[in-house]
Amino acid sequence: MCGIIAYNGQDDAVPYLLEGIRNLEYRGYDSFGCALDSKVGIIIKKDIGKVDDVINKYKVQNLSSNKAIFHTRWATHGGVKTENAHPMIDCTHRIAVAHNGIIENWAELKESLGGHKFISDTDTEVLSHLIEEKLNKGADIQTAVKDTFKQIKGSSSFIVLDKQSEDLVAVKKGSPLVLGIAKNGNFLSSDVPSFVRHTNKVVYLSDGDMVVLGKKSYSITNLINKDVKHEVSTVNFSAKHAEKGDYEHFMIKEIMEQLGLMKNLESTDFKDVIQAAALVKNAKLVYLIGAGTSYHAAMLGAKALRENGINAVAVQGQDLITYRKVISADDVFIIISQSGETADIINVLPLMSKNKKIGIINSDGSTLAKEVDVFIPIGAGPEKAVASTKSFTLSGVYSTLIAMFAAGRNEDAIHDLKLMNMNMYNLLVPSVLSAIDKAAEKIKGLENVFFLGRDSDYIMALEGALKLKEVSYIHAEAIDAATFKHGPLALISDKVYAVAIVSESNRNDTLYNLQEVKARGGNIIGISDKNENVFDMFIRTQEGGSFGFVMQSIILQLLAYKTSILKGINPDRPKNLAKSVTVK
């Protein structure tokens, strides 16, 4: 939920960290803060607001240090105010702490620190005073951090700057943290793109890892499991993949990247998909687990598995607890996550401990990627807009491929991939883009919008409604077109708009439902491969066989994006939201 980047080395940390924190702002943009080691002590600059606004206000670019921590916050504990911005200092100003996560037992820990002065409402400040307490009793910084880590409960990763030590000390648990190994120093960060311009050598840290980061070296000790290995990996994407390039926003860049990413699938060997298919083929039941947009991808996968003769159900991460008494050893889990750090799923991993697990995940080295038996890296590259686009479509494609391969329909799958890509370049022609613009112009002034569809079209209605809510702040509700007459039809009037997704397989039944809406004065924006009399506005999509949802998704993403732009909203940074939800 928050973004942290730190550097310790022979170079000036500030230019590296300024660049890095700007690349992490998508993880949280309520406030910005930094702590720098200096000859006169620790320099702290922090305030609420956008990263660049705070940087310019305090002229952070004019500071210099070889050892520093930068942090951007998305508020989870304590309101959005300057005192709650990170880093947090102790009473003596000896240490500064930046933190990502939730300390569940913060209240009782704070109560035990009666002699300390707290200046914030956050759980994070407990860390600085706990470490201070141990330092005052003679512990060195590493021991103080280790003992503090053992006291706290919950998912928390944090970095500590101690003015009396040449090292930075950090611990990873739950929330993401990765080590970057550069020529003249080392990085710790929430995400690789923040430092990939300076090194592609990384160590993906595991829960319980304590890192001591020196100027020329580093050491890692796992405080939970001594058998954890820490291999140096090479990142396979460059800094340009994490930049907007000529695009105005990351969201539109990532929408358009889908065309190339889908084309790349045609030359993929799918060895991981074949392994996954072998597992699900013999499963008693396949659970597809996801949260938010990944749950919609899970729904697509579950539907595809059932259609191919394999019993499957899509479950939101937090709801798996209700299945705890019926999970059997013969069940298989497919975990879908963009970040690989989704707390709702990590929290229920113990329920899957005896089962085979497949991961459809966009982040190598993430917590969830390390927990699965078959890891399918979806290869979307960095996704920095809060609203997931390319990760969603690729997750849906891979889950559908698993279903088709498990049923022995490999040739059908490849055929449909080629069909999708052949038609993809007919999707975004000027007439379609103009139709999207006109629909967005109509939607932008509405307070409520319905999204309707049947079967897989209903799943895409859910996804379309979510996207519109996320980036335009318009209340959007997805309803199965078949159930619309069971109550919601009472809301229809000539002021109501519905976005209807219509595929060939559901055309006749869906059109009948839409006639009921039309007869009561409702307005219909149709997304289909054919224009219909019932449509007031029409956006043409293309046939894609088993992957037709990709075409629909791109249209829906563009509709949400265009609406956001017309309303003057930055779609990359919608209010109240952050990219990776790493807290409960």
CA 312, CA 279: separation in Å to the nearest integer? 13
Which two three-digit tokens encode residue 296?
């919609």
CA 52, 58, 62, 63 dihedral sign is negative
- Cα–Cα nearest to 453, from 408, 417, 505: 505
Task: Pick the catalytic residue from 2, 34, 215, 253.
Answer: 2
| Residue 215 falls in the annotated catalytic set | no
Task: Find residue 219's DSSP bridge partners.
Answer: 212
Helix (H) or strand (E) holding 271: helix 271-281
Return left, alpha or beta for 248; rule: phi > 0 is left, psi -120 to 50 is alpha, else beta: alpha
CA 541, CA 550: separation in Å to the nearest integer? 10
Q: Give the number of other CB atoms < 10 A from CB of residue 322.
A: 9
Burial status of residue 232 (CB atoms within 10 A of its CB: 0-12, 13-18, 19 or more): exposed
Task: Pick the catalytic residue from 67, 172, 518, 579.
Answer: 579
CB burial readout 233-263, b (16+ within 10 A) else e:
eebeeebebbebeeeebbbbbbbbbbbebbe
Using CA atoms of 88, 92, 94, 95 in order, give the dihedral in degrees to the nearest 10.
Answer: -20
| Residue 39 falls in the annotated catalytic set | no
Burial status of residue 567 (CB atoms within 10 A of its CB: 0-12, 13-18, 19 or more): middle
**Helical ranges in 80-227 per DSSP H:** 106-112, 125-136, 141-151
- Cα–Cα nearest to 578, from 98, 81, 24, 174: 24
CB 194 within 8 A of CB 218: no
Task: Tell me how many degrees the CA angle 439-442-446 measures, rounded to the nearest 5.
Answer: 125
- Annotated catalytic residues are 2, 579
